[in-house]
């Protein structure tokens, strides 16, 4: 199910809601009760449930040697530059 982000234009209240795609759009703010609660344009968010390829292939469940695991931890803690070299939206310059 997708996760939608809403924001009230009256009071500024902002919250994420887990909704089916077929659910009606929310329009009443749960904070102030006004009808100015609008869906925001944001990155797609969803939850995968059950046991599928995503649970077995992408959760890092594979076994690694203890030396490789320690090296990976040390590299991530050393403050090395991100792969994008800091030029993406996540790392503004």
Q: Residue 41: what pLDDT?
A: 83
- Give a yes or no: residue 74 inside a domain: no
Q: Residue 60: what pLDDT?
A: 61
Residue with tokens 């790392």: 91
Domain, as residue range, for 34: 3-39
- Give a yes or no: residue 87 inside a domain: no
pLDDT < 50 stretches in the chain: 65-78
* pTM to 2 decimal places: 0.46
Q: Residue 5: what pLDDT?
A: 92
Residue 16 forms beta bridges with which residues?
5
- Give a yes or no: residue 10 inside a domain: yes
Q: Which of 29, 31, 54 is nearest to 39 (CA)?
A: 29
Q: Residue 7: what pLDDT?
A: 95
Measured at the alpha carbon of residue 33, what is the angle toward residues 32 and 39, in degrees to the nearest 5? 90
Q: Residue 74: what pLDDT?
A: 44
């Amino acid at each position: 199910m997708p996760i939608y982000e809403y924001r009230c234009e009256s009071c500024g209240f902002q919250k994420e809601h887990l909704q089916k795609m077929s659910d009606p759009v929310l329009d009443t703010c749960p904070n102030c009760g006004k009808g100015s609660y609008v869906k925001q344009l944001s990155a797609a968010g969803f939850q995968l449930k059950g046991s599928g390829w995503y649970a077995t292939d992408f959760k890092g469940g594979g076994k690694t040697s203890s030396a490789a695991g320690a090296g990976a931890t040390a590299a991530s803690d050393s403050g090395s530059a991100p792969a994008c070299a800091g030029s993406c939206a996540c790392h503004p310059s």
